[in-house]
Chains A and B, each alone.
Chain A
Amino acid sequence: MSPRIGVITFPGTLDDVDACRAVTYSGAEAVSLWHGDADLRGVDAVIVPGGFSYGDYLRCGAIARFAPVMGSVVEAAGRGMPVLGICNGFQILCEAGLLPGALVRNEKLHFVCRDQWLRVENTTSAWSTRYEPGAEILVPLKSGEGGYVADEATLDELEGEGRVVFRYVDGNPNGSRRDIAGIRSADGRVLGLMPHPEHAIDALTGPSDDGLGVFYSALDALADAPAPVG
């Protein structure tokens, strides 16, 4: 049986359809999860997709992190379930404390939608094993508040532990500290990134299909070490 990967929809979520499509392309089963429902429906991994949950009012991700489903996600992540936060999902995971740091308004103050080169810096997380270390991939970036910030000690720790998974190359699009595009949790099961791998699964509708590796990686991780049922 193919693994089941949940994709959360909050009010204001936009890229849930895309995340589901990417999951399906990679050969897993996409399962829709609803923000107001704490039940994870027995999924093996969870994606918190992009968009503007609750309009991104107050602060990106600030309201969504309190949704009932997020309580279950935090708990499941604690048990080692792979969790991927893309864009708004990354912001939510930071607000929820699953990942350190925060995302702030782009340095140039406006929304940026562009095809962005990334370097894969670490291939040990549940969502990046399919890449060659140092590989460069082309993935859409589209966000207004994508600048990654954390204090120096945290940044040093992330670097030191190999937890910077993706870094911007060919120009920093938003002022992120140390060109950070994506980071992982200490146990490698939780990944958050601003660019959108789910929009790079087919050269017809994206700049490349480089993003598929993220989803294949999760399938490998689940095959190697299935998330414990809770």
Chain B
Amino acid sequence: MAAPDVDTPALDTTAHAERTPELTQPYRELGLADDEYVRIREILGRRPTDAELAMYSVMWSEHCSYKSSKRHLAYFGETTTPEMKAKMLAGIGENAGVVDIGDGWAVTFKVESHNHPSYVEPYQGAATGVGGIVRDILAMGARPLAVADPLRFGPAEAPDTRRVLPGVVAGVAGYGNCLGLPNVGGEVVFDESYAGNPLVNALCVGAMRTEDLHLAHASGTGNKIILFGARTGLDGIGGVSVLASETFSGDESGGGRKKLPSVQVGDPFAEKVLIECCLELFDKRLVVGIQDLGGAGLSCATSELAAAGDGGMRVDLDRVPLRAEGMTPAEILSSESQERMCAVVRPSDVDDFMAVCRKWDVLATEIGEVTDGDTLVVRWNGETVVDVPPRTVAHQGPVYDRPFARPKEQDTIEADTPDRLARPSTPDELRETVLRMVASPELASREWVTQQYDRYVRGNTVLAQPSDSGVVRVDENTGRGVAVATDCNSRFVRLDPYEGTRLALAEAYRNVATSGAMPVAVTNCLNFGSPHDPGVMWQFERAVHGLADGCAELGVPVTGGNVSFYNQTGEQAILPTPVVGVLGVLDDVRRRIPTGIGAEAGESLLLLGETRDEFGGSAWARVAHGHLGGTPPTPDLARERLLAEILVAASRDGLVSAAHDLSDGGLAQAAVEMALIGQCGARVVLDPDADPFVQLFSESAGRALVAVPRSEELRFTEMCSARGLPWRKTGVVDPGAGALHIQDVGDFGLDELRAAWEGTLPALFES
């Protein structure tokens, strides 16, 4: 406990810090390690002030500094060839990666996690997660086009999931719908490991003209720093509130501030107005640089802007408009109040800038300027409370080489293959298995979730739920557009983090291609347990390598991503969950491939790719036996690439009328979904020489089921054969039938299937 300091003035200025080098500081409460604190003192040549300590502590946190992951993430850079980079206008290190999609258009996309807040306050946690990722995209100078939300929860039937899931979904809906951004995709996954630690990841994609790319930097001495958007309050300052307490002992009875919750409340309306305001500012070319305020608030925005610029920066913190009384400089710097942005503006443009803000009723305040020094100076009523080299805050945080090792239990899991599990074999057993799978929470329709999301707003959504990827039109004149999909089967990753991550990449890539888009870029959100656990670090290291190597094989670059560690309940880490997002391009969205069959008069069903006896980590092993063991299916990325090229070529030439990739649940699930989405019957004919169970439920990668108009069948199959893609005619579409008939298994009435598929989530979550 600190001794009361007789020399404590109201304000801890740099001068005061010089005078009181021995003052005890609560750096540990702020999450800094002993050696990190020592390093800060070395950098500054004195002890940090309260405000500096607040800044370093948030910016050197795992979340902002990537201190445990940096070493490994470097591998993405090492494996990205110049050829893969050709279309990248901005990559890792920027707010979000940017790719050139042709016709003068650039597209940017990114996923972020908001896991922990969403457990504490599901609605607000998820809402502010959406808000944050949208500001990231906006900070690139892009108009946000669409969002997607990969979500993971505890067991579907668990009482706490009934609290968390509806709240998270309502939060994503409440914020995203109010912003006017169509929600075009995502995931809903259930697993015990997420029970105390749901994963709420949010993706946003935006577009801009290539010449309008705004990178976050503060350059040009004399340029003004303008903070605009919401007022700054005590949101999310959590740990930093210890600085405001009279003693650092955490005694809440003292005169200081109570420890505040780190939950923020979002105001989607304020963000919508902020978006329109920013777009008008970009349009009028009134910003030199811009940065969103997310985690770490002003600490992050000012240090990153200054670090990336060519000069220094001075900020007068007392000018920041506040929402709470008596906030200290440290609190203002660390506040995570939402819906704020920070811009660098030429002095001659300040009046015009302010006029645009007034038009949108957005509060804007000049809080400082770019200086010709190389330090970031923050003042409070004229006194200096921060004087630091900005790069030491923003980019030169600690980097750790955490120990990692393959855990021994990995052998046990691998040895426990699904071969020992009883398999259905009679037609009745197979029929019962199909229905049970379709109705399981794992595979049931997500409509109860997705119908809460506006997928139509702005009128450019061409495909959304439940199709394999979301497709949005970017250019109304040419029809150019993009497709996005996110995927991760974390059960595969658990069995083999390297191959499992390649499978996640393969699935997202395939989902994009199945919609007719050529995949061009990859983003990720790496959700893992504690980096202090060598087993978790091993999963992480393997996952990064799997993703990077996979991207190199596919020839698509990783343009950005996000790492979320410490996802665990007690000692129990979540299943390793590297969510992979893939972006694809369509030169004309009119040639997108939908999922539902029955659009053309006569269609054949063709199964593309090869089916092997692969059940490790499959949906069947889980649903039928609660089993997770063995090894996951083997990915073949060269095959995935070929499949994608064929699907894109077929979409160009109008050879396929519907397509669906095969993933969770295998062929049976894909056939059921294509029939239900198209509201059209079909007959599926299995290969008499192969095991029907394997054909129906295996999750071998690299496969898709396509519907081909009879008139195009020959052309299409010749193309597949010529290019070496295995295919097999697996049935015909039968609009008159009103049922899905699977030969040697039985008939499934569409109504029966629909009731099974659509009934599950409402029964679980309707209040």
Determine whether the beta carbon of B451 is less than 8 Å from that of A12. Answer: no
Contact A205 B460 (CB under 8 A): yes
B178 to A108, Cβ gap below 8 A? Answer: no
Residues of B within 8 A of A56 (CB): 178, 269
A142 interface neighbour in B270, B457, B460, Cβ under 8 Å: B457
Offer 12 A-B interface pairs, CB within 8 angstroms, sorted by A.
A11-B269, A11-B272, A14-B180, A17-B458, A17-B459, A55-B178, A109-B767, A110-B170, A110-B173, A110-B452, A111-B174, A111-B454
By a CB distance below 8 angstroms, the chain B residues around A14 are 180, 272, 457-458
Known pairs A52-B177, A52-B178. 16 more at Cβ < 8 A?
Answer: A11-B273, A11-B361, A12-B272, A14-B457, A14-B458, A15-B458, A52-B268, A52-B269, A57-B269, A110-B166, A110-B170, A113-B453, A114-B451, A198-B459, A199-B456, A204-B590
Give the most central of B173, B177, B459, B462: most A CB within 10 Å: B459
Say yes or no for B35: interface residue by CB 8 A criterion: no
A contact residues around B108 at 8 Å (CB): none
How far does the alpha carbon of A155 sit from the alpha carbon of B397 in the complex, in Å? 67
B454 touches A113 (CB 8 A): yes
Indicate whether A21 reaches chain B with its CB closer than 8 angstroms. yes
Chain B proximity mask over A184-206: 1 for CB below 8 Å, otherwise 0: 00000000000010110000111
Chain B residues whose C-beta falls within 8 Å of the C-beta of A15 in the assembled complex: 180, 457-458
Known A-B contacts A12-B272, A55-B268, A142-B454; the reply to A111 vs B459 at CB < 8 A is: no
Q: Judge if B190 is at the interface, Cβ distance under 8 Å.
A: no
User: B625 → chain A, closest Cβ, in Å?
Assistant: 34
Interface: A140 (CB within 8 A)? yes
Q: Which residues of B contact A11 (CB under 8 A)?
A: 269, 272-273, 360-361
Interface residues on B, range: 20 to 34
Q: Which of B456-506 contact A (CB under 8 A)?
A: 456-462, 473
Number of cross-chain contacts by CB at 8 Å: 84
Give bound CA distance, A142 to B450, whole Å.
Answer: 12
What CA separation (Å) do A100 and B262 show in the bound complex?
A: 45
- State whether the Cβ of B686 lies closer than 8 Å to any Cβ in chain A: no
Q: Which residues of A contact B166 (CB under 8 A)?
A: 110
Closest 5 pairs (CB-CB, A-B): A55-B269, A14-B180, A18-B459, A52-B178, A199-B456
Closest-CB distance, A146 to chain B (whole angstroms): 13
Closest chain A residue, CB of each to CB of B767:
A109
Chain A CB within 10 A, most for which of B178, B450, B766: B178
A107–chain B nearest beta-carbon distance, Å? 11
* CB-based contact A111/B452 at 8 Å: yes
CA distance A56 to B178 in the complex (A): 9
Interface residues of A (CB under 8 A from B): 11-12, 14-15, 17-18, 21, 51-52, 54-57, 108-114, 140, 142, 144, 196, 198-199, 204-206
Closest Cβ of chain B: how far from A12's Cβ, in Å? 5
> Is the C-beta of B267 less than 8 angstroms from some C-beta in chain A?
yes
Residue numbers in B under 8 Å from A21 (CB-CB): 459
Q: Which residues of chain B are near A52, meaning CB under 8 Å?
A: 177-178, 268-269, 272
Point out the residues of chain B lying under 8 angstroms from A112, CB to CB.
451-452
CB-contact partner of A18 in B268, B273, B458, B462, under 8 A = B458
Chain B residues with Cβ below 8 Å from A142 are 177, 454, 456-457
Given the complex, which residues of B lie within 8 Å of A12, measured CB to CB? Answer: 178, 269, 272-273
B455 lies within 8 A of chain A by Cβ? yes
Q: Specify which chain A residues have a CB less than 8 angstroms from the CB of B178 in the assembled complex.
A: 12, 52, 55-56
What's the Cα separation between A207 and B582 when bound, in Å? 26
B589 contacts A by Cβ under 8 Å: yes
Distance (Å) between the CB of A23 and the closest chain B CB? 12
Chain A positions within 8 Å of B451 at CB level: 112-114
Using CB atoms, name the residue of chain A closest to B268: A55
Provide the residues of chain B in CB contact with A204, threshold 8 Å: 462, 589-590
Shortest C-beta distance, B447 to chain A (Å), equals 9
B766→A113 contact, CB < 8 A: no
Q: Across the interface, do A111 and B173 meet the contact criterion of CB distance under 8 Å?
A: yes
B517-533 interface code vs A (CB 8 A; 1 in, 0 out): 00000000000000000
Do B269 and A199 touch (CB < 8 A)?
no
| Bound: A55/B268 CA distance, A | 7
Given contacts A52-B269, A204-B589, A205-B459, contact A108 B766 (CB under 8 A): yes
Docked CA distance A194–B166 (Å): 24
Task: Report the separation of the CA atoms of residues A209 and B269 in the bound assembly, to the nearest whole angstrom.
Answer: 30
Interchain nearest-CB distance for A229 vs B (Å): 29
Nearest-neighbor residue (CB-CB) of A13 within chain B: B180
Least CB separation from B179: chain A residue: A14
CA distance A158 to B431 in the complex (A): 52
Chain A residues with CB under 8 Å of B273's CB are: 11-12
Interface contact A51-B180, CB-CB below 8 Å: yes
| In the complex, chain B residues whose CB is within 8 Å of the CB of A111 | 170, 173-174, 177, 452-454
Residues of A within 8 A of B272 (CB): 11-12, 14, 52, 55
Instruction: Report B-chain residues with C-beta under 8 Å of the C-beta of A114.
Output: 451
A54 to B473, CA, bound (A): 28
In the complex, what residue of chain B is closest to A55 when comparing beta carbons? B269
Q: Which residues of chain A are near B453, meaning CB under 8 Å?
A: 111, 113
Please report the C-alpha to C-alpha distance between residue A142 and residue B458 in the assembled complex, in whole angstroms: 13
- Least Cβ distance of A206 to chain B in Å? 7
Q: How far is the CB of A201 from chain B (nearest CB, A)?
A: 8
Bound state CA distance, A55 and B274, in angstroms? 13
B231 to chain A, nearest CB (A): 16
Kindly provide the distance from the CB of A204 to the nearest chain B CB, expressed in whole angstroms.
6
Complex interface: chain A residues within 8 A of B270 (CB): 55
Complex: A57 Cα to B457 Cα, angstroms: 20
When distances are taken between beta carbons in the complex, the residues of chain B under 8 Å from A140 are 456
Residue of B nearest to A108 (CB): B766
